[in-house]
Amino acid sequence: MFPPNTELTMSMITNRALIVLRNDLTFSRTVNHQYDKSFGVDGAKIGATINLRKPVRYIGNPGPTMVPESFTETFVPLTLTSQYNVGLNFTTSELMLSIDEFDDRVLKPAVATLANKIDFDGLALALQVANFVGIPGQTPSAALTFMQAKTALDNNAAPVDDNRSVTINSLTESYMVDALKGLYNRSGEIGEQNVKGRMATGFGWDKWYMDQNVYTQTIGALGGTPVVSAGGQTGSQIAISGCSDNIAGWLNQGDIVSFAGVQGVNPQNRQPWGTLQPFVLTAPVTTSNTGTATLNIYPAIVLTGAYQTVNASPINGAAVYVYGLLTTSNPAQSAIAGITSPQNLGYHKDAFTVACVDLPVPRNVELGARAADEDVGFSVRILRNYDIYQDGLPTRLDVLYGWCAMRPELAVRIVG
């Protein structure tokens, strides 16, 4: 702690801002971080792209005969999409505060705004995740739901280590604490859970977090009885029919479908799970005047090879399920049309990556500083000028970052 009546320097303020940012982040602290200081030399800007390497998969071969397999690397582009800033205007007298006073009165509220924006953008990646448990419109309130979420990660060969986390909204946390209050044990974590109203470690998850930035998804209008319109379809587009006619937003980007008879497979041994493979829509769906539509899906339907995703392609006339339910014959399906539900997330840290880079410090400002932490993966820039008319110090805090769902199969949406 710096003594009072010591003028705070730009370097002190910037380094303190980085510490506050690191502590204020919730979801962003639990995923992979990438920090590239080369942008500080080359000049960071929105639109720059970092290519992230994904693990290579192989099939292998039984017996003594070797069958060479191609070494094919795949990359996921992470684009720096977001420069975000908070503008301040404090006075020269406020620079004579102690650093702790300056934290509370000036710095923490500003940095909290940056942290919330970074977390919010990261949690929006839930709409790129196909795996899900729960029913939209029904807040999860049972341990089984979170055990099923754990199973989704197991089925996708997520590492079984200490890097599995759950991030849920406050309502879901309240329901879960209430549902498990019968397990009260004051001396253990369950006891702390009941006293503080916060979920602790449990049910296959190493860490539980509450984040008010959990994303929400509005489901499409639905209607009709959709079926696959031709057998043998593979890839990332599936033609369907039987929908209500002429509906824009019949389903929205981020909604989830599955097809009768199409099971997911374990990516290591390529054996079926025994349950249907979910697919997330990568684009909104508009139906034609005859009730047909094309679904753009992830993952793609791949039937063979190291990157096989399913055990079979859908047959002609196979039912299309939305969030696991039929669109008309199951009454529960009509209840989710147009509903907005939180997309709580369970994930391994390798599912998502956030990258933060150095912003350049221009020469035509009174003071400028930048602080970065390669271990944490974040960089903050602060610039300041002096306003001689108002005796003020207009100051801005900036971050430049980007997100990507690098391996979304290692995450699961816990819808509510």
Cα–Cα dist 145/92, whole Å: 54
CA 194 to chain centroid, in Å, comes to 28
Q: Hey, how many other C-beta atoms are within 10 angstroms of the C-beta on 81? A: 15
Cα–Cα dist 302/111, whole Å: 45
In angstroms, what is the C-alpha Rg of the chain?
25
The maximal CA–CA distance of the chain, rounded, in angstroms, is 83
CATH class of 220-338: mainly beta
SS3 329: coil
Residues 370 and 95 sit within 8 Å (Cβ to Cβ): no
Beta bridge pairs of residue 280? 256, 298
- Residue 285 CB partners (closer than 8 Å, separation 6+): 220, 249, 250, 251, 252, 255, 293, 294, 295
- Residue 388 CB partners (closer than 8 Å, separation 6+): none
Q: What is the pLDDT of residue 2?
A: 42
Q: What is the pLDDT of residue 358?
A: 87
Q: Which two tokens stand for residue 71?
A: 């070494």
Residues 35 and 374 sit within 8 Å (Cβ to Cβ): yes
Using CA of residue 355, residue 361, residue 366, residue 367, what is the dihedral sign?
A: positive
pLDDT tens sequence for the chain (416 residues): 444 445 667 788 888 888 888 888 899 989 988 776 655 555 567 888 877 777 777 777 777 877 777 767 777 888 888 999 999 887 777 777 676 777 788 788 889 999 999 999 999 999 999 999 999 999 998 889 999 999 999 999 999 999 999 999 999 999 888 877 665 444 555 544 444 444 556 677 888 999 999 999 999 999 999 999 999 999 999 999 999 999 999 999 999 999 999 999 999 889 999 999 999 999 999 999 999 999 999 999 999 998 899 999 999 999 999 999 876 666 667 789 999 999 999 999 999 999 888 888 888 888 888 888 777 778 899 998 888 887 788 889 999 999 999 999 999 999 99
Residues 211 and 123 sit within 8 Å (Cβ to Cβ): yes
- Residue 332 CB partners (closer than 8 Å, separation 6+): 135, 325
Angle between helices 170-179 and 143-155 in degrees, nearest 10: 110
Residues 95 and 386 sit within 8 Å (Cβ to Cβ): no
Q: What is the pLDDT of residue 368?
A: 87
Quick one: DSSP state of residue 79? E
Q: For residue 238, what are the CA distances in angstroms to 231, 296, 319, 329?
A: 10, 7, 12, 22
Burial 328-350 (b: 16+ CB within 10 A, else e): eeeeebeebbeeebbbbbbbbbb
SS3 183: helix
Q: Which two tokens stand for residue 298?
A: 């992830």
Q: What is the pLDDT of residue 282?
A: 98
157: exposed, middle or buried (C-beta count within 10 Å: 0-12, 13-18, 19+)? middle
Counted residue by residue, the chain has a size of 416
- The closest of 249, 253, 243 to 326, measured between CA atoms, is 243
Q: What is the pLDDT of residue 195?
A: 40
Cα–Cα dist 348/244, whole Å: 38
Q: In the structure, how many helices (H) and strands (E) does the chain have? A: 8, 24
Token match 């992470």: residue? 78
Give the start-to-end residue ranges of the domains of the chain: 10-125+353-401, 134-216+342-350, 220-338
| Distance between first and last Cα of the chain | 44
Residues 348 and 163 sit within 8 Å (Cβ to Cβ): yes
Cα–Cα dist 212/215, whole Å: 9
SS3 49: strand
Q: What is the pTM of this model?
A: 0.86
